[in-house]
Amino acid sequence: MEVIIIDWLSLALGILVGVLIGVVPTALFYHKGFSRKSRELLESRKKAEEEASNLIGEAVKQGEDKKREILLSTKEEVHKAKLELERDVRAKRQELTRERQRIDQKETVLDRRTQSLEDRECLYTEREEALTLRESALQAFEIKKREELERIANLTVAEARSLVLEEAEHEYRRDIAILYKEIEEDARSSVNAKARELVVSTIQRYAHDYVSEATVSVVSLPNEDMKGRIIGREGRNIRTIEQLTGVDLIIDDTPEAVILSSFDPIRREVARLAIERLVQDGRIHPTRIEEMVKKANRDIDNSIREAGEQAVFETGVVGLPSELVKILGRLKYRTSYGQNVLQHSVEVCHIAGMLAAELDLDVMEAKRAGLLHDIGKAVDFEMEGTHVELGSEIARRYKLDSTVINSIESHHDDVEPRSLVASLVAAADAISAARPGARRENIETYIKRIEKLEELAQSVPGVEKSYAVQAGREIRVMVLPDSVSDEEMPLLVHELCQTIERELHYPGQIKVNMIRESRYSDYAK
């Protein structure tokens, strides 16, 4: 047992000694290395601290310098601002001083004016009192004078006034007529020149070839045998045509022609077109007639719509309802004294627009009113009433502008125009209708108008004879020299013109020439 213990102790001691022998040198070696490294690190740290201290010192020094510079610049700016502020304060004080001086001067002037006004008021009061006294004295004198005059003349004031007025009217009638003539000549020389310039300029700008039209009422036939075919067996073909179209066919001795009779121009056009196509086709029987009439109705409807659309496109009048455009297209088959109404409406539209542009009015409103002024003629052969009444009714139905409605109603002087546009439309209508070759008149209407014109001239007191010349565009009136003086003639001419304008309806204008002649004859013996 002891041997074993001794061995363990030896082993332990050996191990301990070995460990000490290995560990101690190693520890000494590492301690020596760590000591050198620590010294190096300490030296590096000292160098870094020294450099940092140097940098901090330099930075502090630079900061102090920068601070001093900033302080100096700030002090300079503060000093400059202070100087400017003091300068502004001095200027404001000077301005206030000058303003106070101006106010004082104004107060002084106002005081002087107030005193002057007070003095004037006192003077006016004194003068007013004096005038009142004089007025009272004059009134008393007038009363006394009137009483004395009434006593001397044996007339009252009212009777004397009436007598004086009658004498003055008789005496100054000549002066009034001369003055009227001068005023009329001056106005005519200026107004007529300007109006003529506007009308001529407008007509020149709208230069349009015009051919007088007549409603087609005769259908040409290739031969006389075609009349029998149109009549048909026992007249069935002609009855079918008349029933379907509403047009009366007149087949008489006129060679190679069939006459169409109807108050409706559209129906007449449908019948004409259907008959021409039947003649070209050669097959004329009731069934074929019905087909051709239906086709002609469709073609005429399309033509009416296209005519209305073309008129709207040509004039630039937009925004009209489609139904109204179609009604406008019906004017293509309507004539007035040989003038195509649709073409006339387009022309009035352009003329009214040009006149409105010259006068700085609403051009589009004038063109719309001009285009629709005769819209009632599209239905006047179907409904009772004048084209003016029917046109205004159509315009109200489609809720058109009040200016357009008034233009329709007033373009023939049925009502008073309420706007310049309405007056322009009436003028444009007269210009278009009065153009040479635009319209023609039947002989009976022409003779009646001439006779009526001469009757109106003969109704004027003092007129001896009257003659209508230039196709009723001019009338020459001969007056009695003993009944009418030269000074009264301008008044009589003016009254006659007003009567003609009120009683007659005519396109354009009528020139009135009044002639007074005195002849004295004697013989020298």
> pLDDT for 354-382, tens place per residue?
888 888 888 899 999 999 988 888 887 77
- Rounded CA separation 507/411 (Å): 12
In order of 143, 327, 369, 388, 407, the CA distances from 375 in angstroms are 70, 7, 10, 8, 11
Torsion sign (Cα): 331, 337, 338, 343? negative
More confident residue, 92 or 255: 92
Same domain, 311 and 270: yes
> What mean pLDDT is predicted for residues 81-106?
89
| Assigned domain for 19 exists | no
- Residues with Cβ < 8 Å from 317, sequence gap 6 or more? 349, 364, 367, 368, 371
Which pTM does this prediction carry?
A: 0.48
pLDDT value, residue 34: 58
Same domain, 473 and 422: no
In order of 114, 244, 274, 475, the CA distances from 237 in angstroms are 109, 11, 12, 54
pLDDT value, residue 215: 45
Q: What are phi and psi of 462, to 5 degrees?
A: 95, -5
Same domain, 261 and 371: yes
- Rounded CA separation 373/199 (Å): 19
Same domain, 421 and 303: yes
| Assigned domain for 483 exists | yes
Q: What is the pLDDT of residues 254-277, one digit of tens each?
A: 787 888 887 778 888 888 888 888
What is the CB-side half-sphere exposure of residue 266 using CA atoms within 13 A? 19
Element (H, E) at 463: strand 463-469
What CATH number is given to the structural domain containing 481? 3.30.70.1350
Same domain, 327 and 467: no
| Assigned domain for 417 exists | yes
Same domain, 456 and 421: no
Report the domain count for the chain. 2
Same domain, 477 and 508: yes
Of the pLDDT bands very low, low, confident and very high (cuts 50, 70, 90), residue 150 is low
What is the CB-side half-sphere exposure of residue 425 using CA atoms within 13 A? 34
Q: Which of 406, 434, 462 is the last residue of a domain?
A: 434
Of the pLDDT bands very low, low, confident and very high (cuts 50, 70, 90), residue 212 is very low
Q: Which of 387, 408, 434 is the last residue of a domain?
A: 434
State CA 273 to chain mean position distance: 42
Which residue segment(s) compose the domain that 238 sits in? Answer: 218-434
Same domain, 468 and 407: no
**Please, what is the average pLDDT of the chain?**
80
| Assigned domain for 275 exists | yes
Same domain, 236 and 310: yes
Same domain, 429 and 451: no
| Assigned domain for 292 exists | yes
Same domain, 400 and 493: no
State CA 67 to chain mean position distance: 77
| Assigned domain for 91 exists | no
| Assigned domain for 465 exists | yes
pLDDT value, residue 201: 56
Same domain, 369 and 476: no
